Amino acid sequence: MNIIADENIIYAEQAFSQFGNVQLIKGRDISNSILKETDALMVRSVTNVNNELLKKTNVKFVGTATIGTDHIDEDYLNENGIEFTSAKGCNSYAVMEYILASVNLFINNQKRKFNEISIGIIGVGNIGSKLEKLFTALGAKVLLNDPPLKRITNKKKYVPLEEVLSADIITCHVPLNLTGKDKTFHLIDEKEIAQLKPGVVLINSSRGPVVNNSALKKRISEKKDICAVLDVWENEPNLDLALMKLVNIATPHVAGYSLEGKINGTKILYDKFCEFLGKEKLWEPVYPEVTNNVISNEYNSEEELIDMLFPCIYNIEEDSNFTKSQILSNKNEISQTFDLLRKNYPLRRELNNYQIKYSTEFKNLVKALRLIPKD
């Protein structure tokens, strides 16, 4: 059996060598000619899987080690009897922590408390639901928008987009739908960006085209009255250099790039591939030990607790500064630099590796953060 995998899928060779020959290739270099004698294909978000890629190949299984599937033509796979699986939910905690690091940064800069702000969450799936619990535990006012869930549940907590756009901080967690009732392409368009109140923080870690990048750039450059955190960009990897300079936090599509999130993605694909083949699941990933993982500082509020965790465990400002410096230093090779930043992203571990002492009043927050109680 021949298996081709994106070279950025962690532990891919270890996991899939049980089934045959594994070849690791750059995701953007995977082509139809390479796949002629391939039986299974494992990709990440940079490889578009469609008729052009798979026609006249032997591929019978496709897996993406990502939660997003807009790069996959699922209709084509279904019509041609090709098994498909995604790694839905694999990095949801990593993205949650990325959002919390962003929010904490602005809370500190504005000298505000969590119970004084409102958080608008657009898309309440694996990530959005975790953020709902987290920010509720922090005492923030949470506004939720998710039209599909509203139709299914008819719950009053799901409010119109216009109401969510009134929040102090707005964060997007939707798939990229180009058409249809739940279209999300330019969900935050010129009209929506014009509605944002001065001082708002807009965060997008879902898909670049969910936010109209040109309209956002225009608002920031002309009025300089809103803040933006962008981990995803229109036309990746050729991001808009002018927009990158303007946003407060710029990262190269790495919000979910914790070690745990990456390994979870590989494990999900491996398990599904075993089930597809009817094979025993033999591979179990080994996680490196986290040393110095006891948080011993004293804290008296939710803000102090969060401030202890960030930026020590994850410094999002360092991520952003490094991203901007590398891309600005290589203006003629933006796309290559963007991909290299992702490929060489430093090791980042999730909060569930860290121990902390806490009193009863912080129980719900510690649980939402998945910190380990320390005796």
Active-site positions read 207, 236, 253
- Provide CB contacts within 8 A for 323, sequence distance 6+: 244, 250, 251, 252, 341
**Nearest C-alpha neighbor of 247 from the set 222, 224, 227:** 227
Cis peptide before 198 (omega within 30 of 0): no
**How far apart are alpha carbons 185 and 328 in whole angstroms?**
28
13 CB contacts (<8 Å, ≥6 apart)? 5, 22, 24
Residues 6+ apart with CB under 8 A from 322: 341
**End-to-end C-alpha distance for the chain, whole angstroms:** 50
Which tokens is 11 given? 């532990």
Token pair belonging to 246: 């303007």
Q: How many residues are recorded in the chain?
A: 375
Distance, in Å, from the CA atom of 287 to the CA atom of 303, rounded to the nearest integer, reads 30
In degrees rounded to 5, what are phi and psi of residue 6?
-60, 130
E-state strands within the chain: 2-6, 21-25, 40-43, 61-64, 83-86, 118-122, 141-145, 169-172, 201-204, 227-230, 249-250, 294-295, 355-356, 372-373
To the nearest 10°, report the CA torsion of 109, 118, 67, 342.
-10
Are 120 and 171 in contact by the 8 Å Cβ rule? The answer is: yes
